[in-house]
Structure formats: structure tokens, C-alpha cells
Amino acid sequence: MDRSNRPSAIGVPTGKNLPQPTVTMRENLIEASLPTGESVTVHLFGATVTSWKLADGTEQLFLSEGAKLDGSKPIRGGVPVVFPVFGPPPKDHATSSLPQHGFARNSYWEFLGKSSSESLGRDKRDGGDAVKLDFGLSHGMLSEEFRRAWPYEFGLVYSVTLSKESLETSLQVQNKGGRAFEFQVLLHSYLRVDDISKIRIKNLQSKTYVDKTQNATTHTESSPALAITQETDRVYQALDPKVPIVVASDDDKPLFSITREALSDIVVWNPWIDKAKGMSDFAPDEAYKNMICVEAGSVAGWQTLDAGDAWEGGQTIRARL
């Protein structure tokens, strides 16, 4: 049958002709932007997200002016990845010879590639409305010192997804060896704020927290909208990851919301005046007024990963809601 005159399908936009996200790599930086103007920058040292901008160019993350970007120490700001231990490692644990917050933020990761809207299963009609960047780290990529200090065969895949409305970061941990290991994980997000005295953190009320500024004593949060008025270093535990932690202005406008997958703890940290002055890579001294760390993690206990198993967790940060 001659089908040459058959009606052609009504055109469904495939996204092919629509503007697509761009991804560029220079030296150790991967930058991705959406056609609508949002952008993200990831440094291969630590796979640390160092910048996240909205379409109008406003920066959402805090990066210290004194941050070292040469691999000599973890990057002070953005979203460092804390793995496999949070804080100073316990003496009698397999992580005991590692530095504070582990090796992930102290190692060069590999850029594994990008995927954009179509392969991410998003609505094609929106064209390039999301881009995902994947980064990898494995035992063999660590320095000899770290390999010796934590001799487990592991694989990490860290995915950073930029969309118009959010930044999503998620980590997959694989146990590629023959024995189980224990780990903690934390996405140490430094959120940029105009004035620390004008923000409130919501949805922590009635939750139990360990206050690291008070000899790690345990307390219950009484405030429905926590104000930061001094050095703050608290580990809130056993939260429902689906309930967003909201950073709001003092007149109750939401500035950020953070939802999580498989990460049930939240660390709230601000170094305040003296600690900020004492950190060599924190500048200027008064910049503690322009940041709040709301860190999604699994840090109250340990995750055990059996040989051959994988675990995944992550966060989605929405800005200017």
C-alpha cells in the first residue's frame, strides 16, 4: 500500500529544537546552566558545589572569601560532602584515623558526565529545564594516607541536579568489598542569608537535639521558629525527611526549604563571632552574618552497609519559594 500521503503526526515538541542546558569544564570546575539562566558550579575537590544562582543571578550559597580552592584544605562554603564520618572520629571506631568530617571533602572526584531533562524523565515541553551532573569517588582514587586509614572498597556516586526551582544533591554509597562497613554522611550546605538576625528556622520544634556548644548535652527544641543569636552547633535527630526544614525571614517569608531522602538528622551551625575569627579560611570575619548551615545527614548513629550493598540519600533545596 502506498502510504506516502499518510498524514504526518501532529508535531510534539521533542525538546530537540529547544535551548538545552550548557555544561563546561575548566580546570577543576564544572559549570552548568539552564537556558533560563540558573547555574551551578561544582569543584572537583570534594565534588563541592561552590555556587548556585537563580535565573536573576542571585547567589544562594555562601562561599567564604578566604576559602582555599587549591586542594590544600576542604572548601569553606558551598556544599561540602561529609563521608564516612561526621565530626572528629571516635577513638575506637574504624574511622578513627581519618580527619574531622572524613575524606570525601578532601579528595579529588571524577566527573562522570551529565544528563538533561529528557533522560531525567522530566516534561519534554519544558526543554532544558534540568541538568544532572554525576561525580564519582572510589577507594583507588584516595591518597595513600586515606586508603590506609579506611581500607574499605567503596564507590560513591554524587549527583547534583539543577532545575529552575531547586538544587538537588544525592549520594549513593556502594560497598564493593567483601566485608561490611559503617559510615555517616552529611551534606554540609552553607546557605547565604542577608542578615543572620533576620532569619528563623522552622519545623524543628519538639525535636531532640545534641548541643555541641554545651558539652554535647541533649535538649528538646521549644521554638517553632528558631532564631540564631549566638554560636550554634546542634544535631537534631530522628526527623521526618519529608517535612521540609524551612529557613524563613523574621516576617515569615520562606527563603529556603530543605526536604530529604533517607537523611533523618539536621545539623544547624553558625560559628558566630569568635569561632569565625578563629578559622583561617573564614573571611571576612563578619561573614558569619551572611550564612547559616543547615546540613542534612545521617550522623546520629552509623549506617551499616553489607558487602555488595548500596545505600542512597539526598536533599532538595528550594529557594525563594
Residues 6+ apart with CB under 8 A from 276: 282, 285, 286, 287, 288
Which one among 93, 114, 164, 212 touches ligand BG6, defined by CB under 6 A? 212
Does 295 qualify as catalytic in the annotation? yes
Q: Is 269 in the site for ligand BG6 (CB under 6 A)?
A: yes
Q: Is 101 in the site for ligand BG6 (CB under 6 A)?
A: yes
Q: Give me the residue label for grid cell 558569619.
A: 288
Q: Residue 54: which of 296, 321, 294 has the closest Cα?
A: 321
Residue 277 and residue 92: Cα distance in Å, rounded? 32
Confirm if 273 and 245 have CB atoms less than 8 A apart. no
Pairing of strands 225-227, 199-202: antiparallel
Q: Name the closest residue to ligand BG6 (Cβ).
A: 269
Size of the site for ligand BG6 (CB under 6 A): 10
301 vs 308, which CB is nearer to ligand BG6?
301
DSSP string, 42-82: EETBTTEEEEEE-TT--B-B-B-TT---SSSS--SBSBPEE
| Binding track over 171-210 against ligand BG6, x by CB under 6 A | -----------------x----------------------
Instruction: State in angstroms the smallest separation of the CB of 293 from ligand BG6.
Output: 6
Confirm if 138 and 154 have CB atoms less than 8 A apart. yes
Instruction: State in angstroms the smallest separation of the CB of 15 from ligand BG6.
Output: 40
Q: Is 43 in the site for ligand BG6 (CB under 6 A)?
A: no
Write out the three cell numbers for 209: 537535639
Instruction: State in angstroms the smallest separation of the CB of 220 from ligand BG6.
Output: 19
Q: Is 280 in the site for ligand BG6 (CB under 6 A)?
A: no
Write out the three cell numbers for 1: 500500500
Residue 180 and residue 304: Cα distance in Å, rounded? 7
Instruction: State in angstroms the smallest separation of the CB of 113 from ligand BG6.
Output: 29
135 vs 282, which CB is nearer to ligand BG6?
282
Does 43 qualify as catalytic in the annotation? no
Which one among 162, 267, 296, 319 touches ligand BG6, defined by CB under 6 A? 267
Q: Is 245 in the site for ligand BG6 (CB under 6 A)?
A: no
Residue 100 and residue 234: Cα distance in Å, rounded? 16
Q: Is 233 in the site for ligand BG6 (CB under 6 A)?
A: yes
Instruction: Catalog residues that contact ligand BG6 under the rule CB under 6 A.
Output: 74, 87, 100-101, 188, 212, 233, 267, 269, 295
User: Which active-site residues does the annotation give?
Assistant: 188, 295
